[in-house]
A = this chain, B = another copy of it.
């Protein structure tokens, strides 16, 4: 296997001096995981730092009753601060990360992380920024869940998941888990959207008929 220079992929490492990057490439471990794998979770608390080289990870939280809500997604080039957070806080948490695609993960041992964040401003700022983004993400989730209407949230999420395409491949249950609600609720709202000729539905697939109309609902908050 060829050696992967992952340091070019991350804002916090790309700008580092060559010797530092070479050292990193030696001390970090690169792992691949399959779509659907659990990257981290309550029973799988890592003692190292995660960086996502390639793919996408969905971070969600599950209630005692088994209902689920998606908190945010980690994209390639981003680091996963939640695992570090839980390491540091040493608190129970019930969030988990699922690989939404095949993923390539860089695992940096804590000593290397400590050394890097003390010696390299660029790296430290990168980590702080990652924390910040997640905090902001969660503020948004709180706002949506506490104050948002479900039709608005669903319209937003459909557009986000559809990203440029004219259809979304997801079951009603999938969408319910995105928003932290029940399948029946999603079914009702989607049927309403359908009656208003905004979408078409078939098993596991939603097709946009009037994206502007969906957008209007999404922005009517």
Interface residues of A (CB under 8 A from B): 61, 63-65, 67, 69, 71, 81-82, 84-89, 91, 93-95, 114, 117-119, 121, 124-125, 128-129, 131-136, 138-139, 141-143, 145-147, 180, 221
Task: Assess whether A180 is in contact with B88, with CB atoms less than 8 Å apart.
Answer: no
Q: List 19 A-B contacts (CB under 8 A).
A: A63-B146, A64-B221, A65-B147, A69-B146, A71-B139, A81-B131, A85-B132, A85-B135, A88-B125, A88-B128, A89-B129, A89-B136, A91-B136, A94-B139, A118-B121, A128-B131, A135-B138, A138-B139, A138-B142
Assembled-state Cα–Cα distance A124/B94 (Å)? 26
Partner of A146, one of B82, B87, B88, B180: B180
Chain A interface mostly helix, strand, loop or mixed?
helix
CB-CB under 8 A from A136, the residues of chain B are 85-86, 89, 91, 93
A214 to B64, alpha carbons, bound, how many Å?
21
Question: In the complex, which of the residues A67, A69, A94, A138 has the most CB atoms of chain B within 10 Å of its own CB atom?
Answer: A138
Question: Given A141-B142, A143-B94, A145-B142, do A128 and B84 touch, yes or no (CB 8 Å)?
Answer: yes
Question: What residues of B have a CB within 8 angstroms of the CB of A145 in the complex?
Answer: 142, 145-146
Cross-chain contact A61 with B94 (CB below 8 angstroms): no
Which of B117, B132, B147 contacts A124 (CB under 8 A)? B117
Contacts of A89 in B (CB 8 A): 129, 132-133, 135-136
Bound together, the chains give a CA A136 to CA B135 distance in angstroms of: 10
Q: Which residue of B lies closest to A85 (CB)?
A: B132
- In the assembled complex, how far is the CB of residue A84 from the closest CB belonging to chain B, in whole angstroms? 7
